[in-house]
Amino acid sequence: MSQFVKFCLTVVAAFVVLSVPAMAQDGGQASISFSGAFGAGMVLLGAGFGIAKIGAAAVESMARQPEVAGDIRGAMIVAAALIEGATFFALIVCMIA
């Protein structure tokens, strides 16, 4: 995993851990609320990173073995379509919530 991704995950984890006391207060509303927009943003970031990783691996594989480029391209398109389908489902869930 790259250092940037590790840093982003650390920041998100720290944010969630530090926000727990604020959300556990009795009475009143929590000072921090995770909305559907926050969830949709996280879903889109995850899908973007996933599709980028698939694309990078496919291009590298095609460069190493040009004779199977067609098979690799087909598998890459199917995998990207599955990721996008799951992304759209998660976006609908975030919008409803």
Q: Cα separation of 57 and 13, whole Å?
A: 28
pTM of the model: 0.61
C-beta separation of 83 from 50 below 8 A: yes
Question: pLDDT-derived band of residue 60, with 50, 70 and 90 as boundaries?
Answer: very high
Distance of CA 70 to the CA centre of its chain: 27
The pLDDT tens digits for 17-51 are 666 665 555 555 555 567 777 888 888 888 999 99
Percent of the chain's residues with pLDDT above 70: 80
Residue 62 burial by Cβ neighbours in a 10 Å radius (0-12, 13-18, 19+): middle
User: Residue 53: which pLDDT band, with cuts at 50, 70 and 90?
Assistant: very high
Asked if 79 contacts 54 with a C-beta cutoff of 8 angstroms, the reply is yes
